[in-house]
Amino acid sequence: MTRVLVVGREGQVARALLRRLPRDGHAVVALEPPELDLTRPDTIAAALREHRPALVVNAAAYTAVDRAEEQPDLADAVNNLGVGALAAAAAATGAPMVHFSTDYVFDGLGGAPYAEDAATNPLGVYGVTKLAGERAALAAQPRSAILRTAWVCSPDGGNFVKTMLRLAAERDELRVVADQRGAPTFADDLAEAVAAMLPRLLAAPAGDEAFGVFHLTGAPHATWHGFATAIVAGATARGHGRNPRVTAITTAEFPTRARRPADGRLDCGRIGRVHGIRPADWRVSLDRCLDALLMPPTGGAQGETT
C-alpha cells in the first residue's frame, strides 16, 4: 500500500485521483486549505511531516486565467512559490512529485504541436506563473514529473462541458470560438495516467527519464467550436437541451482579459515513449462524462419475490 498525498481536494483532477488511486490499493489523503494552503509554507511542511507520503501529487492551482491578470501576486504565490515549497518538502521526505502544468506556457504561434522541449513564451500571468512553478518544482525536487495538459473537463467543478450544457438548455444558438486549437482532456484520463506512472516514479532515482516534463492531453486535436459541437450532439442524443445551432466565431469576437494561445496543441510523444501512455480519445471520455451528468442512474432490477 502506497501513501499518496493529493494537494487539492475539490478540484477536477483531485477528485478524479480520489476516485482512481484507491482502486489500486493506495491510501490517498487529499488536503486543501486550511490544512494545506500552498500560500502558507508552514502548512505544507506540517502536512508532509504528518502524513509522510511516498508520493505527492499536486492537483491544486490558481486556475482562474482571466482573474490572474488582476491577481498576479496570488497566482504566483500558489502556482510558483507554493509549488517550490511543496517540492522542497517532498524532497525532504524522499517523495517524488507529480505536478500539473498547462499548454498556456506557450504562445501558440508555433504552427505545429509543441514538443516537451519547445521554447516557452506564456502570453499571460497564469502561464507565466505556471511556467515558473514547473521550474521551481524541478529545481527543488528533481524527482518530479510535470504533466502539461489542456482544456480539462470532468463531471465535477466548473468547465467547458458544463457551460455548454447549461447554455444548450437556455439558447437556440451557441457562438463558440473556432480559431483556437488544442485538445479536450478529461480528468479521469489524467488520473489513469498518474496511476500507470506511479510504480515507476516511486522506484526511479533522480536523473531517470521517468521524471521531467511530459505533455498529456486527449486526442484528436480540436477547436472549441468542434468540442462544443460534439457536446451539443451528445447532449441532444441524451434528450438534453434545445439542440442549439453552434456558430463558429473568431477570438476577436469573444474578447477575454487574458490572451490565450491560438494553437496550443501538444505533442504527447514523450509520455508514450517513457511511460507507455497514449492520449485517450476525448470523444469516448466525453460520452462517459455526459452519461454521468445527464443519464439518471438506472434503478436496480426488481428483486425476485417468492
Ligand X SMILES: NC(=O)c1ccc[n+]([C@@H]2O[C@H](COP(=O)([O-])OP(=O)(O)OC[C@H]3O[C@@H](n4cnc5c(N)ncnc54)[C@H](OP(=O)(O)O)[C@@H]3O)[C@@H](O)[C@H]2O)c1
- Which positions touch ligand X (CB under 6 A)? 8, 10-13, 32-33, 37-39, 59-63, 78, 100, 102, 130, 149-152, 157
Ranked by CB distance to ligand X, the top (closest) residue is: 11
Using CB atoms within 10 Å of the CB of residue 35, give its burial: 0 to 12 exposed, 13 to 18 middle, 19+ buried: middle
C-beta closer to ligand X: residue 163 or 236: 163
How far is 90 from 29, CA to CA, in rounded Å? 15
To the query of whether residue 62 is one of the catalytic residues in this protein, the response is no
Taking the least distance from each CB to ligand X, the nearer of 162 and 200 is 162
Nearer Cβ to ligand X, position 238 or 270? 270
Q: How far is the CB of 235 from ligand X (least distance, A)?
A: 20
Q: How far is the CB of 193 from ligand X (least distance, A)?
A: 12
Cβ 139 to ligand X, closest distance in Å?
18
Give the whole-angstrom CA distance, residue 100 versus residue 131. Answer: 11
Q: How far is the CB of 244 from ligand X (least distance, A)?
A: 23
98 touches 17 (CB < 8 A): no
Q: How far apart are CA 84 and CA 128, in angstroms?
A: 15
7 or 54: CB nearest ligand X: 7
- Which of the residues are catalytic? 126
